[in-house]
Amino acid sequence: MAADAPVSQLPGNTLVAVEYPGIVGPSRGALERALASLCPDAGPSAHVQLAGSALGHLAELLDQGGKLVECRLLPPPGQEDEYQYLRHPVLGDISAADALVVRIRRRVLRSRRTGEERREYVVEVVGAASTAVRFRRLADFAFRPDLPGSSTEHPTLALHRSLLHMDVDAMRAYRFGHENEEYEVTVDGTQRSALGMIPPPLFSRVELPFAYNYRQNPASALQTQPYSSSTKRTRRTARKGEDSPEPSEERLITRYVNRARWRNTAPIAAQFAQTAALPTKPDAALGKLSLSSRQETLLARLRQLMEERPVWSRLSISNQLEPEEARALTQSKELYSMVAYTFSDGPWRDSLVRFGYDPRTDPASRFYQRIHLRGKAPRAPSTRGVFKAEYGTLQSRASARSDQRSRSSHIFDGKTAPQSSSTFQLCDITDVRIAALVNAAGPANVRDAPDVRMGPSAETLTQAATGWYTAPAWDALRSAISTRFHALVDAPDSDSGSSTDE
């Protein structure tokens, strides 16, 4: 601290700071009215003379170590409600604080000659606040009974009022009347309840607001583009109020887009019947991505696998990797787009195809065709009423066997029960009886060119039904795989079935 810095002596006053849950005006009456709402004797007709009682009540709470302060927010003058006492107060907590209470005074000086105004602000430290009353809890729901108009108060509400004010004479004079089964009465053509229901002690048990911590999706990014080059979907999903108000074609629109889609990290999708050239290299946008050393190593491994085999399913290529590499590939799916493209339909649908390789021109690619099988999922046996210790060793053994089979989950050997819904490539089917149908050759089994079936119009293309195989050969192959798959997956259910999707 500099030697010439001003030094101020803090007053020895110890104050209590009240964070009032409302706006307090600068007038003395507003301050007294706010203090009156903290008095427990406020009731339905609080007045400013209760301000002194409120200060005494706060002092008593502090002396006795109280922790809660009730604030009964009162209606404006002239709008008093006789049922105000039924509304629950706002609860405040008494907690320790370490703050300074300052008084700010503003003076406006105006020159008589020039009329210029000059404002001065004087800040004065009143004292230190070691205790604070904070109203951070949520206010409870308000309730006002809709009672039919009458000259006398409802007996139940009268008893409630006497209990609130501790009126012993009124409580002793109360008598239970005869039961009246007329629970609703008609007043001015409107049905109203005649039960005189009093509110519960609390409507809501939630005291503190829930911290939702809303945040934008980290995978989203803002994209800005001219209105003239945008599509209808882009304009529809633009942020409201973000685009320029002028109706010119040069205005800009902004919207949130998915980073992965924006960078085009998904593999290029080709159609089975398209006549244009198939992709020979990845998208140029992928070259701008910065890869870590781990991703570079994984990319080299994927390129090696694509050289060994031109067509892979995602499951089969993932099973060739170590568990750590497979997890890293799941988090870096853009690496797929750097080594392969996919077909959106046809016998190699959703498979990863090496850039520059056209399976429609290579008869050997028939071994990479896919077949999708669906069966009824087996129901897990119930363990209700059985001690877990009895199954502890069994579960650990089953888990170990599952880990061993996970690396070969893309292979169909005809012996191991696969998942209820599985997709296999024909080259990964090792069952001897089915493999004979897969390796069948000759004009009766293999076509000269893949089969492409047309839809009802020239613009509509359906997926290829059999690929390189003839229809009879593919039907026999599909029937054999489906039968064996059904026997492994749905054997416990004799009336269940499976289906295939080529």
Distance CA 253, CA 225 (A): 6
Between 120-134, 352-366, 399-413, the lowest mean confidence (pLDDT) is in 399-413
pLDDT at position 462, please? 37
50: DSSP letter = G
**CATH code for the part of the protein at 14-134:** 3.30.200
Output 68 or 373, whichever has higher pLDDT: 68
Residue 10: pLDDT over 60: yes
Q: Phi, psi (5° rounding) for residue 170? A: -65, -35
Q: How far apart are CA 57 and CA 124, in angstroms?
A: 28
Q: Bigger pLDDT: 80 or 132?
A: 132
Sole residue written with tokens 């107060």: 89
How confident is the model at residue 421, as a pLDDT?
66
**pLDDT tier at 68, thresholds 50, 70, 90:** very high
**Six-digit token string for 483:** 């039968």
Q: What is the mean pLDDT of residues 346-370?
A: 91
pLDDT of residue 415: 83
Percent of the chain at pLDDT exceeding 90: 15
Quick one: which of 206, 183, 202, 197 has its CA closest to 83? 197
Is the per-residue pLDDT at 380 higher than 70?
no
What pLDDT, on the 0 to 100 scale, is given for residue 297? 92
Residue 395: the pLDDT is 46
Task: For 38-51, write each residue's pLDDT tens digit.
Answer: 887 644 344 445 77
Q: Which two tokens stand for residue 414?
A: 């005809």
Residue 458's pLDDT band (boundaries 50, 70, 90)?
very low
- What local confidence, expressed as pLDDT, does residue 467 receive? 86
pLDDT at residue 82 is higher than 80: no
Q: 3-state DSSP call for residue 321?
A: coil
How much is the pLDDT for 229? 64
Query: Highest mean pLDDT range out of 179-193, 228-242, 300-314?
Result: 300-314
pLDDT at 439 over 80: yes
pLDDT tens by residue, 247-258? 555 677 787 777
Instruction: Answer yes or no: is pLDDT of 262 > 60.
Output: no
- Record the tokens describing residue 424, joined without a space: 């296999």
Tens digits of residue pLDDT in 90-118:
999 999 999 899 988 888 888 888 888 88
SS3 category, 135? coil
Q: What is the pTM of this model?
A: 0.47
Cα distance between residue 296 and residue 225, in whole Å: 33
Going from N- to C-terminal start, the domains of the chain cover: 14-134, 145-210, 220-257, 269-361, 389-501
Token couple for 403: 């880990």
Name which of 282, 345, 361, 380 is nearest 502 in CA terms: 345
Q: Running DSSP on this structure, what letter comes out for residue 94?
A: E
Which tens digits make up the pLDDT trace of 233-248?
A: 666 666 655 444 555 5
- Give the pLDDT of residue 494: 40
Contact by Cβ (8 Å): 63, 84: no
